[in-house]
Amino acid sequence: MSSMLPEGALQNQVAIITGGGTGIGKAIALNFAKLGAKIVVASRKLENLEATVAAIEAQGGEALALATDVRDMAQVQNMVERTKERFGKIDILINNAAGNFVARSEELSVNAWNAVVGIVLNGTWFCTQTVAKEMIAQGSGGKIVNVIATYVWTGAPGTVPSAAAKAGVLSMTQSLAVEWSKYKIRVNAIAPGPVATENTTRQLFGGGNLFERIASENPVGRFGEVDEISNATAYLVSDYAAYINGACLTIDGGQWLNKGYLQYFNDLPPKP
């Protein structure tokens, strides 16, 4: 799928994308690079990040891979310093890194809770605060997009640490959008529905006939594509979305809405 924005829509922008070595984050990195942005991808596995960088360079773009665990503030600070050294500034942050697994809540260990909440809530905060300090010092504003999930609206039995942390990130998004508007920093979120990336298929969707059920119960009858998520994200950080601040864009085919009993009236037999 090609980008929906005009060529050069992100020209001269420098974007950090956490979790940019796989799945949705990789698609965002490739798409932003096509639109002219210089890219930093940051996560734990350098080999995945380097593959993203190679793909960006192969399409004529510029990118940097930085091994970073977002749970560690010192590593996040290093990510920001190295970005400034290489590209001179930071305009865009996409908080996409996440961890998740399905477990009975009554059996979760303290470490299990901390692993997910540490990545999703603390990691998003560490990256957001550290990058925003640079954006404020630069004086030229900035754009932050937090990747959450539609289960912030519904809750998520079986993935409670992720649901609780993502709901915290939604509140962080709304709070900072107002607090930092004076610095011209726009803070928004996207809430994807199910997208069959390699890791989510392994961690969440792989069991039994779950994959088929999730697809068939979606109003559009399928999973989302990574490019559908990356295109919406590109729009949110572009100047076309200059008046969008503190919003959460749901991208799920209508999945989370599809549970009222009125849905059964969709298939009424024809009038006699």
Residues of span 195-254 touching ligand NAP by CB under 6 A: 195, 197, 199-200
What is the DSSP annotation of 193-221? --B--HHHIIIII-STTHHHHHHHHSTTS
Separation of alpha carbons 221 and 253, rounded Å = 8
Residues of span 75-104 touching ligand NAP by CB under 6 A: 96-99
Separation of alpha carbons 123 and 42, rounded Å = 12
Is 22 among the residues that bind ligand NAP (CB under 6 A)?
yes
In the complex, what is the shortest distance from the CB of residue 155 to ligand NAP, in angstroms, rounded to a whole number?
14
Which ranges in the chain belong to alpha helices (H)? 23-34, 46-58, 73-87, 110-117, 123-138, 151-154, 160-179, 198-200, 210-217, 226-237
Query: Of 151, 235, 243, 261, which is the active-site residue?
Result: 151
In the bound state with ligand HXC, the residue whose beta carbon lies nearer, of 67 and 136, is 67
Active site residue 235: no
Residue 116 contact partner, candidates ligand HXC, ligand NAP, none, CB within 5 to 8 A by sort of partner: ligand HXC
Separation of alpha carbons 209 and 194, rounded Å = 15
Fill in the per-residue mask, 96 to 135: x = in contact with ligand HXC (CB under 6 A), - = not in contact: --xxxx-x-----x-xx--xx-------------------
Residue 136 contact partner, candidates ligand HXC, ligand NAP, none, CB within 5 to 8 A by sort of partner: none
Q: What is the DSSP letter of 264?
A: G
In the complex, what is the shortest distance from the CB of residue 103 to ligand HXC, in angstroms, rounded to a whole number?
4
Angle, to 10 degrees, between the axis of helix 123-138 and the axis of helix 73-87? 40
Q: How far is CA 11 from the centre of its chain?
A: 21
Separation of alpha carbons 72 and 94, rounded Å = 17
- Which of 53, 56, 64, 70 touches ligand NAP (CB under 6 A)? 70
Residue 189 contact partner, candidates ligand NAP, ligand HXC, none, CB within 5 to 8 A by sort of partner: none
Separation of alpha carbons 131 and 85, rounded Å = 14
In the bound state with ligand NAP, the residue whose beta carbon lies nearer, of 168 and 266, is 168
Fill in the per-residue mask, 44 to 83: x = in contact with ligand HXC (CB under 6 A), - = not in contact: ----------------------------------------
Is 209 among the residues that bind ligand HXC (CB under 6 A)?
no
In the bound state with ligand HXC, the residue whose beta carbon lies nearer, of 116 and 127, is 116
Separation of alpha carbons 5 and 235, rounded Å = 7
**Annotated catalytic sites, by residue?**
151
Residues near ligand HXC (CB under 6 A) are 98-101, 103, 109, 111-112, 115-116, 149, 162, 194, 199-200, 203-204
